[in-house]
Amino acid sequence: MTGAAAAPTNTGTTTNTGTGTGTGPGTGAKGHEGTSGLGDLLLNRMTTPAGYIGTTPTGLIGRSADLERLAAVTADPDAGLVTVTGPAGVGKSRLVMEFFRHRGTGPGGGVEVFDFAQVTDTSVAGLMLRQLREQCYEGSPAVRKALERVAAGKHTLLFDHYEDVADDLAPLLAEFRRSCPQVRIVCVGTTRLGLYGERVVRLGPLPAGDPAQDAPLSAVPAVELFVQCARAVRPEFALTAENSRFVLALCRQAGGLPLAIELAASQITLAEPDLILERFAHDPGALHRPDHHPYSRHSSVGGMVSWVLARLGTEERAQLVRLAVFQGPFTMRAAAGVLAGCHGADHRTMERLIDKSVLVPDDGHGGEVRLTIPHAVRLAAAGLLARLPAHAALRRAHAEHFRRAAAAGTGTGPETRADLLAAFDHWREAGDGGAMAVIARALREQSPTAAQALHCLRLTEEALRAGVDDPRLHAGALEAAGELALRLGAPPARAHLTRAREAHRAARDEQGAARCLALLGEEAYAAGELDRARRLFEEAYASGAGPAVIAGRQVALRLAAVLRDAGDLPRAGELAMTALGAELGRDPEGGAGALLARYVLATVRWSEHDSPQARALFADAAEQIGTLPDTAPERPECLEFLTVTLARWHRAADWQRVAATLALADHLRRRGGRPRPKHLHDRVAPVLAAAAGELTAAEYARSRRSGPDLGWQAALRLIPAEPPAPPSEASADVRSDVAATLTKRELEVALLVAEGLTNRIIARELGIAEWTVVNHLRKVMRKLGCQSRVQVTRRLSA
């Protein structure tokens, strides 16, 4: 349907099919004088191809939550005007097209699409809109009739790419809403209209992967989009171990912006991802596409950036260039600290930049809003900033702000890593080793991967070489270098930690010296020197460092693990119970420390004897260990202990799963950057050799390859499941006064509590409800005069 013949329909989704080329009556200002007003302008001049809402060659990726948000907003009867906004190239039109293509507009509704990108001369369209607005103010019956004609029978009117005529379109839409309140209006563009009652759905770039998470690379939305677009031009393309890191780096270089990702993927016909990344990093604006896109006005990243900058006012552009000193997301607090105030008029300018999607807001930690400049736009603005005289002063203020934040330990979350690195570069050039050390310390908390930890170690060592005058800061930098080297299994760990301990003593920091002593114990443990590790941990424990937490674990707990591996199981169990009691004393609900204490206790119990209860205790602890981050060192150790103990008790039956489980442990160790301790490596090697002997070469290789994809629960199914022995058999060893005080069931519960089992596993052991276990335990505590599970254990073992 075209022009006045475009009769609306009340079923399904409808679009107009006019060419929108700007020919015919009403093209120029003079021609406009003879038009029929709004009806001619909208029904003849700005209609989109039918393909705007139709079949698409690819699926929409990573936008499920955004579609749900749009659905929730449009479902509200009071949402008469909905604006879908976001940065240029983020995929706004694509999202809205997908929404209406799959969901329609509800019963009895249709969609009429007006795409201003199809207008050759937007200045003419703006003039026509202004004249119509004047007619609206005059209350012209012809205008109202035209409004009703456009809206007759329609449920939704969709206006896309309206940025160039936003100032003229907004008042006309306000009149439209007054004249036709039954019609819903959806606008799609980078700029908010600013009308009363406008509901805004803001889109952001696609997630490009979190280094701290171990999600499959193919499930990262930005990577998934790259692969989909690459296969559109090269069907055989696939992620491999060789190219995956370059694809991920490409997506991050693109800032997760779909347009940039699509343009980068389109180059796959001529180059591999590593070469595309090199070109993209050198000149991101050079990425372009030769063909026309049905729902995007941009054909290159450079063109998109120029389009964005051209639509900014002088003050807006100047403010954007100054803000480009930030490398990543920033808060208003940070902006005020770096830009010397940033109040009053600057605030209003930043609000306009947000309205134009040049600054993208996002709720940060603690509810403080973070602002992000789209990556390609920031790079262009940073290039302009580098040529300004104020660049050096802004860079110095930026570095000083992040030095202060790092020293205070506030405002330096993972999202500030790029800014901290930029600040480090400034202080390196200034030769300030103390400031470099402060920044490196903050970066250490944001280095979950092995590559990041290695980079942070090099920065810390560089700060030490530059010279750190403050004694405590110098000792802390040495300790940080030692801890990072220890985590990576690097040789300098012992030297750094020994010097750090001496530096802490010289600075009269006994707690710091105790921490280094415990870290030296960790270094000895990793080297397989169990006797030296035991001596160091015992010295740290005796020096009053017992309650201190080293890398999230108590010294007593680490000493228990060393004694367990050295074969002193009775004392290892005693220390594990002590650590568990201390953790429950600080947190009755039991946090991560209690979880780790239960795990060590479970490994000691299973090492002592192979009983159903010991295996059940280990299974429960291992299941909880599986909830820790993938980079936690206890996760691979748990799997390795499982396979070694199964082999020790001759209970290894599924050798394919044993081999896969150890491969999963290897994967987790690489992920966390922590090599396997030597003594544990010596125990794992015979298990792998036994698996290789039990399996064919093909089975063994297949099992090892499948390891990284093995689920945690699948690995734990290696633990044999047998009916538990009746716990009442142990009651003969209990003091007669305790046995006489408790009922048979209460005694059973008390004995299992003494074994370190949780309420859940006790319930499973006894075949009763967990709440029943809680009630029995309360009665036990009351009868025995105990206040905690630890006291119950001590009473039974007295």
pLDDT at 367: 66
Identify whether 575 is part of a domain.
Answer: no
Predicted local distance difference test score (pLDDT) of residue 737 = 65
Q: Is 252 exposed, middle or buried (0-12, 13-18, 19+ CB in 10 A)?
A: middle
Residues 173 and 26 occupy one common structural domain: yes
Establish if 669 belongs to a structural domain: yes
- The parent domain of residue 785 ranges over 727-797
Alpha helices in 527-568 (DSSP H): 530-540, 555-566
Q: How many Cβ atoms from other residues are within 10 Å of residue 283's Cβ?
A: 10
User: What are residue 363's phi and psi, to 5 degrees?
Assistant: -70, 120
End-to-end CA distance of the chain: 92
- What per-residue confidence (pLDDT) applies to 414? 79
Exposure of 139 by Cβ count < 10 A (0-12 exposed, 13-18 middle, 19+ buried)? Answer: exposed
Distance CA 85, CA 285 (A): 23
Asked if 488 and 625 sit in the same domain, the reply is no
> Distances from the Cα of 510 to the Cαs of 112, 441, 471, 517, in angstroms?
74, 20, 14, 10
**Distance, C-alpha 531 to centroid of its chain:** 41
Q: What is the structure's pLDDT at 699?
A: 92
For 680-719, how does the pLDDT look when each residue is reduced to its tens digit (9 = 90+)?
999 999 999 999 999 999 999 999 999 988 989 999 999 8
SS (H, E, C) 576-587: HHHHHHHHHHHC
- Asked whether the beta carbons of 84 and 186 are under 8 A apart, the reply is yes
Q: Are residues 318 and 252 in the same domain?
A: no
Cα–Cα dist 776/759, whole Å = 10
The whole-number pLDDT of residue 587 equals: 67
Report the phi/psi class of residue 161: left, alpha or beta, with left for phi > 0 and alpha for psi in -120 to 50: left
If asked whether residues 328 and 403 sit together in one domain, one would say yes
> Which residue, 510, 545, 577, sits at the end of a domain?
510
Largest CA distance in the chain: 109
Q: Which pLDDT score, from 0 to 100, does residue 590 have?
A: 63
DSSP 40-99: HIIIIISBPPGGGSS--SS---S-HHHHHHHHHHHHSTT--EEEEE-STTS-HHHHHHHH
Does 69 map to a domain? yes
Q: And the tokens for 1?
A: 């349907």
Domain boundary residue among 236, 260, 295? 295
> Would you tell me how many other CB atoms lie within 10 Å of the CB of residue 788?
13
Q: Is the domain of 155 the same as that of 194?
A: yes
Q: Do residue 648 and residue 750 come from a single domain? A: no
Q: What is the pLDDT of residue 388?
A: 93
Q: Are residues 690 and 731 in the same domain?
A: no
Cα separation, 49 vs 52, in Å, equals 6
What angle (nearest 5°) sits at the alpha carbon of residue 448, between those of residues 632 and 366? 100
Contacts of 598 (CB under 8 A, 6+ apart): 580, 620, 621, 624, 756, 758
pLDDT tens for 155-184 read: 778 888 888 888 878 887 887 787 777 788
Q: Would you tell me how many other CB atoms lie within 10 Å of the CB of residue 577?
A: 22
Predicted confidence at residue 366, as pLDDT, reads 59
Looking at the fold, whether 181 and 256 belong to one and the same domain comes out as: no
| 630 in a structural domain | yes
Task: Write the DSSP string, 231-290.
Answer: HHH-TT----TTTHHHHHHHHHHTTT-HHHHHHHHGGGGTS-HHHHHHHHHH-GGG-B-S
Could you give the CA distance from residue 373 to residue 86 in angstroms, rounded to a whole number? 11
CA–CA distance, 374 with 360 (Å, rounded to integer): 7
The answer to whether 177 and 80 are in contact (CB under 8 A) is yes
d(CA 328, CA 333): 14
Q: For residue 129, what pLDDT is reported?
A: 66
Instruction: Judge if 115 and 261 occupy the same domain.
Output: no
Find how far residue 113's CA is from the centre of its chain: 36
pLDDT of residue 277: 86
Q: Tell me: the pLDDT tens digits for 599-636? A: 998 999 899 888 888 888 898 889 889 888 887 888 99
Instruction: Annotate 67-104 with b (16+ C-beta within 10 A) or e (fewer).
Output: beebeebbeeeebbbbbbbbbbbbbbbbbbbbbbbeeb
Cα torsion angle, 18, 20, 23, 29, sign? positive
- Domain at 375, CATH number: 1.25.40
Q: Which helix (H) or strand (E) holds 196?
A: none
Return the structure tokens found at 710: 């093995």
- Alpha-helical regions (H) of 543-633: 555-566, 569-586, 592-608, 612-625
For residue 50, the one-letter residue type is A
Q: Which residues of the chain have pLDDT under 70?
A: 1-58, 104-109, 118-154, 210-216, 284-285, 289-296, 341-344, 363-367, 544-553, 585-590, 722-740, 797-798
pLDDT digits (tens, 9 = 90+) for 484-499: 999 888 889 999 999 9
Residues 222 and 322 in one domain: no
How many domains are contained in the chain? 5
Is 535 part of any domain?
no
Residue 332 pLDDT: 86
